[in-house]
Chain A
Amino acid sequence: MRHGFDWRRTPGFGTYTACIFFFLYAPLVVLVAYSFNGGSLVTVWGGASLKWFAAVAVNRDIQAAALNSVIIAAAATFAATSLGTLAAVGMERSAQRSSGVMSSLFALPLLVPEIVTAVTTLIFFSSLNLRLGLMNLIVAHTVFCIPFAMMPVRARMKGLGDLWENAARDLYAPPFKVLTRVTIPLLRPAIFSGAILSFVVSLDDFVISAMVGDAGTTTLPVYVYGMIRRGITPEVNAASTILLVISIVLAAVGQYLNRQAISKS
């Protein structure tokens, strides 16, 4: 039986897809593989070893940078999730439904080139003469994390409808109790998912952290970049691999929670 035209049966399509996956993932595979390199050159295999992970583990500077990264990510996640959740609830439930323009304005930070945001933030802080160390980075990260925290909450909010909120109002709940007893608990998976997204985005950020940060506030990605400039050893690979694994695990948990939220509604 002859089939009609079907993209999936286009000759060479499979090979093309394989190429794309190769370009996407081969560098990551090489990076991870060479983090187990026993030699001291990034490009020459010197037998399998965990010695560079051990080196990372005892490197005080890496530990300090990692701690900065985690503090910034945790604080920015908390702030962005709180603000983003309330903004999402407000946008979906305000008497005047959010317009397309409003939605676009909230999504715009995702499209603005990060370097532009970084320069603007830097100028903003220096014009205020704001030098609060980590706090500067936390504020900067919070700003770009908000859209990420908002996205899943808004989607879930749309899916919820006003059925349960009406039921709560019918059962004598004043507006604040509707929010705390019904809306927020029902949004919980989406809020978690937004929080994890924010955390990962903050943890991985380089451009803004490099521009806004100073000597005492080096984050892990900025530190790794510095290592490369001092000479590339597989220690860079090991540090990157650790960062990669943390990101993947968090992203997977976020995805899982989001799926659950969607399938429940």
Chain B
Amino acid sequence: MSPNTNPATRASSKVVGLQNAPGAEPSIADPIIQLSDVTLQFGEFKALQGVNLAINPGEFFTLLGPSGCGKTSLLRLIAGFQSPTSGNIELDGKDVTAVPPHRRPINTVFQNYALFPHMTVAQNVRFGLEMLGWDGGAADARVPEVLSLVGMNGFATRRPDALSGGQQQRVALARALAPKPRVLLLDEPMSALDLKLRKETQNELKRLHREAGITFILVTHDQEEALTLSDRIAVLRWGEIKQVGSPEEIYCSPANSYVADFIGEANLIRTQLLGVSGDGMVMVRPEDISLANAGESGRISGIVADVRFLGSGIEFVVRTADGELLRARSAGAGRLPEFRSLIGADVRLTWPESAQQTLGG
């Protein structure tokens, strides 16, 4: 699926970057999308402030954060629906800040799918190809090709309102992939699906990403989804990027307490409590903390406030001297009665040095 085999090559010369000459292929090291110092302001409200981001060709990149963190604004800027207040956006090294959405080789799977209700499934998928000026034969071949890619081949003549939510989502994916965009944007595509369908769709997205070989940018508030799917994740809060990294980096070495707290579960402990000098924070995941054995001194002591049964294990809630609640997980669900008797007892907690993460900010 290299761009020079794209039948739209001639006709869509107005679309930036769709018509790369074979020799002018950007090297893998160059980012496909680069945001430099991007700020977006609505009156007094800063939706995004000073965002710098480089997204590599072919990667599955996720913008993760709670609602109102600016992740959807960022997606709208990349798609071209919105212009930044300041800063610029580059695609393949070309400045596209002022380029309207219909001239960017980027397609979007919208949160509510936004399938055209007055067109059939096939007409929806064909729309982008017609707008790009593909010739009829190439478009006729491409429509069933992408519909079978998402397993919707039998539905070509249906109207969107005759499809279930999951089917609509597949059609939206097919429609966005059909014009062979350089980048696919996914705006919380799974938020309207039930849990089981969401899991299936995650696998499906992973497969489509491999097969299409293009850059996927996903917006989500679901940290588990982000960890499962992404090559890299950007964690956002209040219009700022708090950390960019691989799922392992984000989970195991969060850059600050916000990321530590937002991704997975975390115990945040002030360094003073550990008898270490300085006024910082230390993060330890609950699964890394265990009760110290009789002889050990442990790293911190406290009183067991609660013992919870989690099914796969047991969680201790321990109140430290300054009133913080720490959580520690252990396997051995069978020993619940024994552990329950510890409520109210003084315990010492310990964890390996490597599990301890010193945080800035």
Q: A: which residues have CB within 8 A of B?
A: 163-164, 166-174, 177, 181-182, 185-186, 188, 264
Q: A177 — nearest CB in chain B belongs to which residue?
A: B131
Q: Mark B108-134, 1 if CB is under 8 A from A, else 0.
A: 101010111110000000011001100
User: Which listed residue (A170, A181, A264) contacts B79, Cβ 8 A?
Assistant: A170
User: Which listed residue (A164, A172, A188) contacts B128, Cβ 8 A?
Assistant: A172
Supposing A166-B101, A182-B116 touch, asked if A171 and B128 sit within 8 A by C-beta, the answer is: yes
Q: Mark B253-265, 1 if CB is under 8 A from A, else 0.
A: 0000000000000
User: Which listed residue (A163, A174, A182, A264) contacts B102, Cβ 8 A?
Assistant: A174
B100 A170 Cβ-Cβ under 8 A: no
Which of A166, A168, A170 has the most chain B CB atoms inside 10 A of its CB? A170
A168 B110 Cβ-Cβ under 8 A: no
Secondary structure at chain A's binding surface: helix, strand, loop or mixed? helix
A167 B102 Cβ-Cβ under 8 A: no
Please measure, in the bound complex, the distance between the C-alpha atom of A167 and the C-alpha atom of B109, giving whole angstroms.
9
Please measure, in the bound complex, the distance between the C-alpha atom of A185 and the C-alpha atom of B124, giving whole angstroms.
14
User: B80 — which chain A residues lie within 8 A by C-beta?
Assistant: 169
Q: How far is the CB of B176 from chain A (nearest CB, A)?
A: 8
Task: List 7 additional A-B contacts (Cβ < 8 Å) besides A168-B131, A182-B116.
Answer: A164-B117, A166-B101, A170-B79, A170-B106, A171-B179, A173-B127, A186-B117
B118 A169 Cβ-Cβ under 8 A: no
A171 B175 Cβ-Cβ under 8 A: yes
Which of A172, A186, A188 has the most chain B CB atoms inside 10 A of its CB? A172
A173 B114 Cβ-Cβ under 8 A: no
Q: B: which residues have CB within 8 A of A?
A: 12, 15, 79-81, 100-103, 106-108, 110, 112, 114-118, 127-128, 131-132, 175-176, 179
User: Which listed residue (A164, A170, A173, A177) contacts B108, Cβ 8 A?
Assistant: A170
Please measure, in the bound complex, the distance between the C-alpha atom of A185 and the C-alpha atom of B175, giving whole angstroms.
19
A-B contact pairs, 27 of them (CB 8 A): A163-B112, A163-B114, A164-B114, A164-B117, A166-B81, A166-B101, A167-B114, A167-B116, A168-B116, A168-B127, A169-B102, A170-B81, A170-B101, A170-B106, A170-B107, A170-B108, A171-B102, A171-B107, A171-B127, A171-B128, A171-B175, A172-B15, A172-B128, A172-B131, A172-B179, A182-B116, A188-B118
Please measure, in the bound complex, the distance between the C-alpha atom of A173 and the C-alpha atom of B100, giving whole angstroms.
10
B102 A173 Cβ-Cβ under 8 A: yes
Please measure, in the bound complex, the distance between the C-alpha atom of A120 and the C-alpha atom of B326, giving whole angstroms.
82
Please measure, in the bound complex, the distance between the C-alpha atom of A91 and the C-alpha atom of B110, giving whole angstroms.
26
B118 A172 Cβ-Cβ under 8 A: no
B81 A169 Cβ-Cβ under 8 A: yes
Please measure, in the bound complex, the distance between the C-alpha atom of A53 and the C-alpha atom of B264, giving whole angstroms.
82
B114 A172 Cβ-Cβ under 8 A: no
